[in-house]
Amino acid sequence: MKLTHLYATELNETVTQVYPDLPEDLQLKLVNHPHARELSLPQDWWSDNTLVRLLKDTEFCLSRQAVAQKYGGYQFGHWNPLLGDGRGLLLGEVENQTHQRIDLHLKGAGQTPYSRQGDGRAVLRSTLREYIGSEALFHLGIPSSRALCLFDSTETVLREMPETAAMMIRTAPSHLRFGHFEYYYHSGDSANLTRLFEHTFIHHFPEVLSQANPHQALLKAIVLRTARMVALWQAYGFVHGVMNTDNMSVHGITFDFGPYAFIDNFVSNAVFNHTDHQGRYAFDQQPGVALWNLNALAQAFSGYCSTDELKQTLMLFEPTFMSCYQQLMATRLGFSESNEQSLALVNGFLSMLANQQRDYHKLFRKLSGQDLHQKESAMRDDFIDRSEFDSWWQQYRHYRLASGDPSAQSALMDSVNPVVVARTHHLQYAIDAAKEGDYAVTRELLQALQSPFDAKWLSTQWADGPIEETAVSLSCSS
């Protein structure tokens, strides 16, 4: 294991050293062993609760230079300069097998100077949701932070109700948020903003240093990565739930899992965050919010880029998003290219799902198994308005038959249409079992989510939507 503390040492004025404060009776319950091997982490950490004992030692390599980071952020559109790692600690950076530095970040490790009267704890419910959700996205091919391990405890913490404390170690290329740059810009701290940019260039985006304006090149990279990430969210029906700028990564990865959800029956303006009364972070608002957030971030680049450079760079978001989204959606229907006809069929299918409140995931997957030579598809029974589906089906099958080999198209569809996603009712099933000390359900769900396109899951409970479609309201509290 090659462990460094580059952020903590190079940006020491922007962090506070804090030793981990572990909850009572902490027990290691889940380990992402393949990911641990990718990071060359010691095998003995994962047996006999060894890692818990090590974390208690202030001289342990992951504890002795643990730091809380300072940042700000736009929360529901309003600037908040008082943010920072209120329950998390950056433990250091390790190298993966391709020599890329990866952060190790401990969540739920106690109070920091940025806890804002919070207890610095994370609860089992939200910790398990983040563990499962981040791995689900990763295996769908959606950029995300990763889960390394999870601990539970007997310590009680108060949220909307009493819950038990938990911790997890997550990984990411870095924990640099939009809010890091925004904070030092808005506070007028040009010295630390410059150091932050230099650190980012050298350790995370070295390719921009060869460009005429490295700052503009960095902003361009962030814009393009964010556009692709959100396009994948939209294509797979993922709702982040709280896209504040402090929850946005400069790497374009899904970050800070709170009240996230995958849509079950398709509702284009679905909201799952119970505090989002105005629907700012609704499913269909996510692309617009991402661009709003990028505009907010661009202010921090204004001392290094002209107004025209910033505008030109931000204008890349929409065409990049649309190109990625349209191509993937066309592929999900079996078309190798996105054009006027294939996109009309995509829009027609989405309209049917929305108008008739049909399951977003099962019906995409089911399409690949339909016989295109049949004038009437058995899928008509999945829709309330069969005539609407019949009309769409005729157009769809004729265009598919004219576009290529149906069997190759079906194989392509099965490679991008998942059987399993991290549905809310399955997450709750895993949480309820874990609260009773049973992590077998979580392990079984994770196993399915690690190969989400595999047909072997079609006959399992993990392919099923909820028995009854009910309004889902999720809490931000962790």
Start-end of H helices in 64-213: 124-140, 178-186, 190-203
Q: How long a stretch of residues is the chain? A: 478
Start-end of H helices in 162-213: 178-186, 190-203
pLDDT at 94 (0 to 100): 98
Q: Between the CA of residue 476 and those of 162, 244, 252, 272, 274, what are the distances in Å?
A: 15, 12, 21, 10, 8
At 156, phi and psi to the nearest 5? -95, 135
The tens digit of pLDDT for each residue in 116-150 reads 989 999 999 999 999 999 999 999 999 999 999 99
Local structure of 84: helix, strand or coil: strand
pLDDT at 360 (0 to 100): 97
pLDDT at 472 (0 to 100): 72
The span from the CA of 467 to the CA of 213, in Å, is 55
Cite the active site residues: 246
Q: What is the CA radius of gyration of the chain?
A: 23
Q: 96: how many CB neighbours lie within 10 A of its CB?
A: 16
Q: What is the torsion angle, in degrees rounded to the nearest 10, for the CA atoms of residue 252, residue 257, residue 259 and residue 260?
A: 50
- The whole-number mean pLDDT for each consecutive block of 10 residues of the chain, a chain of 478 residues, reads 96 97 97 97 96 97 97 98 97 95 97 94 98 98 98 95 97 98 98 98 98 98 98 98 98 96 96 93 98 98 98 98 98 96 98 96 97 96 96 98 96 98 98 98 98 98 87 67
pTM value > 0.75: yes
The span from the CA of 228 to the CA of 234, in Å, is 10
Are 478 and 127 within 8 A, CB to CB? yes
Percent of the chain with pLDDT over 90: 96
